[in-house]
Amino acid sequence: MSDTFELDTDDLQRRMDGAMAALRTEFASLRTGRASASMLEPVMVEAYGQPTPINQVGTVNVPEPRMVTINVWDKGLVGKVEKAIRESGLGINPQLNGTIIMLPIPELNEERRRELTKVAGQYAEHARVAIRNVRRDGMDRIKKAKSEGTVSEDDQKFWETEVQELTDKMVAAVDAALETKQSEIMQV
């Protein structure tokens, strides 16, 4: 029996950071009125028998605020890249020019902007749930240690406070990121 209980708060932090990283990736895929290379990050192309990110089959550029271009390195993959973009749900219509795929970014109308802010809200909620699941896991470990007698009541309160403060900090970061993303989407 160990005499002191030590909760791995670094592990909890790492797992909560993972939820934030996933949220940032999901937010990057949400189209604002501007073109960005990151909007293509979630799109996978069936290349050489496996799903591959677009930036690994071609060079992604943003030559102007409303245009993304992809210079596909392997001519045989141009059709697959175009298909992946069409089926991605980004709402972009690719135009081919040899091995270069041009993606004109249409203006977002008010209705589409509202839809995207709702989607951003859903992504943020998924991140909050993931963070709360990590919190619950931490709290369960503390309770288990208490029932095994490896942690005193004072230490239990200390660790529960630590976990709760970490959770509150991460949820606040999610909320701030959501607010930023929603104002970015609504910006005309």
Go through 68-107 and write b for each residue having 16 or more CB atoms within 10 A of its CB, e for each that does not: bbbebeeeebbebbbebbeebebebebeeeeeebebebee
Q: Is the pLDDT of residue 111 over 90?
A: no
pLDDT in tens, 14-51: 999 999 999 998 887 776 667 788 888 878 999 889 99
**Three-class SS state of 179:** helix
Mean of pLDDT over the chain: 89
Q: Report pLDDT digits (tens) over 75-93.
A: 999 999 999 988 887 778 8
Q: Output the pTM of the full model.
A: 0.68
pLDDT at 123 (0 to 100): 93
| Inter-residue contact 80 to 45 (CB < 8 Å) | yes
In the prediction, which pLDDT does 188 show? Answer: 64
User: What are the chain's domains?
Assistant: 9-27+109-186 (1.10.132.20), 34-104 (3.30.1360.40)
